[in-house]
Amino acid sequence: MTRTYVITGSASGIGAATAAILRDRGERVIGIDLRDADIEADLSTPEGRADAAARAMELAETIDAVIACAGISAPIPKTISVNYFGVTELLTALLPALARSQAPRAAVVSSMASLQPNSPDMVEAALAGDEPKALEIAAALAAQGPQVGYLVYPSSKRALSRWVRRESITPAWAGAGIPLNAVAPGTVVTPMTAGLLSTPEGQAMVDAAVPMPLNDHQSPESIAYLLIWLTSVENTHLAGQVIYDDGGADATLRGDDIWSWADSR
Ligand code: NAD
């Protein structure tokens, strides 16, 4: 049976690859993006998110899956709005349409950058749903230049990964039979990384931060296929996971023991 997918960031990179594969398979895709999409909307604002959700639910009463790919990596305050609130508020707004599906699913794109240094205050403000405060903290960091401003990106992804774990097990998601998970890519060759990867210096910087012993930089399709499985009927029990689909970057950086959380209890 044909499934209806809502995909954000459908005009480029990972979102475009995911939409193309699903359309090839005969599935229905409703793309959301700033332009070149079924729904043109700006997910950086509360109004834009509400508008996008309302229009998606006008186009489809029942939504079988939401795949949230839209994101930016610029060292500017807007990054927390698009990457965190643009995902969490949209997903929450679409819950009624997901609930009408026989097999509802949701997956978001976080990043291995969620493992990098970040602003704990911004992460907490985001998780508390306080967008004005998160933006204020982001603005103060961005004012110190791009190096400090970059902290907005890992903060947005750390908050998103934590939101997925926290929300996935609640009555709204697990209780409603909706698996909610995240994928954390390494370095994906898309317009987002094209500039950085175009010079040897940029490439060396990226590779030092994101070591990928397996198969080097990855294609958008390498993430798309995992997002598609996570939101397929076959995924019945995988919930609250942040899957590092990153050529081994997470294992390289965090090592072999990430399970010691209960050892001292
Ligand atoms: P991309 O730039 O190719 O695509 C991102 C899409 O999001 C674009 O089409 C853009 O128009 C859309 N978008 C941006 N701001 C928006 C807004 N305000 N409202 C609506 N749409 C908006 O980038 P990509 O590499 O495909 O990135 C997709 C996701 O993957 C992002 O969340 C990114 O953070 C994440 N990610 C990317 C990499 C990488 O190496 N490329 C690594 C880890 C995580």
The reported pLDDT for the residue numbered 1 is 86
Domain boundaries along the sequence of the chain: 4-191+217-245
Q: Determine if ligand 1 sits within 6 Å of the CB of residue 11.
A: yes
Q: Determine if ligand 1 sits within 6 Å of the CB of residue 10.
A: no
The reported pLDDT for the residue numbered 38 is 98
Compute the distance from residue 50 Cα to the ligand 1 centre, in Å.
19
Is CATH 3.40.605.10 the classification given to domain 4-191+217-245? no
Rounded to whole angstroms, the Cα distance separating 189 from 116 reads 20
Report pTM.
0.97
- Residue 112 CA: nearest ligand 1 atom is 43
Residues of the chain with pLDDT under 50: none
Evaluate whether 179 touches 105 at the Cβ level (below 8 Å): yes
Compute the distance from residue 193 Cα to the ligand 1 centre, in Å.
10
Compute the distance from residue 10 Cα to the ligand 1 centre, in Å.
9
| Identity of the residue numbered 264 | S
The reported pLDDT for the residue numbered 234 is 98
DSSP code per residue over the chain: ---EEEEETTTSHHHHHHHHHHHHTT-EEEEEESSSSSEE--TTSHHHHHHHHHHHHHH-SS--EEEE------SSTHHHIIIIIHHHHHHHHTHHHHHTSSS-EEEEE--GGGGS---HHHHHHHHTT-HHHHHHHHHHHHTT-HHHHTTHHHHHHHHHHHHHHHHHTSTTTGGGT--EEEEEES-B-SHHHHHHHTSHHHHHHHHHHS--TTTSSB-HHHHHHHHHHHTSTT-SS--S-EEEESTTHHHHHH-S---GGGTT-
Per-residue pLDDT tens over the stretch 227-260 = 999 999 999 999 999 999 999 999 999 999 898 8
Per-residue pLDDT tens over the stretch 178-192 = 999 999 999 999 999
Evaluate whether 223 touches 109 at the Cβ level (below 8 Å): yes
153 is catalytic: yes
Q: Determine if ligand 1 sits within 6 Å of the CB of residue 187.
A: yes
Compute the distance from residue 24 Cα to the ligand 1 centre, in Å.
22
- Residue 35 CA: nearest ligand 1 atom is 11
Which candidate in 150, 153, 225, 244 is catalytic?
Answer: 153
- Of 83, 188, 189, 221, the one to substitute when testing ligand 1's pocket (max ligand atoms within 8 A of C-beta) is 188
